[in-house]
Structure 1
């Protein structure tokens, strides 16, 4: 029975390695114009955008939150472009 268990371990190891390789290939980026799943872009009301802009002005210069919001704005624009493609 121990001989059989070793055989299954070897098969399991091969399956695990193959899964890792295939997963690694799946995480590679896509080329422009290729079919891809685009994240949704949440739409905010004009009033909400105005309130957010007013709150952003009150933050200290160099604030981490302001930097994160700038990154978020870039990601939103990228998602819009992705959806239009």
Structure 2
């Protein structure tokens, strides 16, 4: 039921944030190069934007749980 809810879960004093995978600069550079090769209008670009937003939300979760 909470799949569409915004905000965190109330687990008392303990906040659980999912992990964020860290990528090396080399991997990020390769991904950027490969992204440029995708055809115009590629749905993968939209999906990557969603993924970037989720990563920022997880980072914010980790900052607020400190």
TM-score range, shorter chain: 0.7 to 0.9
Query: Which structure 2 residue ranges, 5 or more long, are not aligned?
Result: none
Q: What is the alpha-carbon root mean square deviation over aligned residues?
A: 2.1
In proportion to residue count, which structure has more helix?
A: 1
- Specify the alignment match of 2:20 in structure 1: 41
Aligned-residue offset at 1:30? 6.2
Counterpart-to-counterpart distance in 1, 2:20 and 2:51: 11
Query: Which structure 1 residue ranges, 5 or more long, are not aligned?
Result: 1-23
Superposition misfits of 4+ residues, deviation over 4 angstroms: none
Total equivalences in the alignment = 59
Q: Which has the higher contact order (CA 8 A, sep 6+)?
A: 2
Q: Whose Rg is larger? A: 1
SS at structure 2 position matched to 1:76:
helix
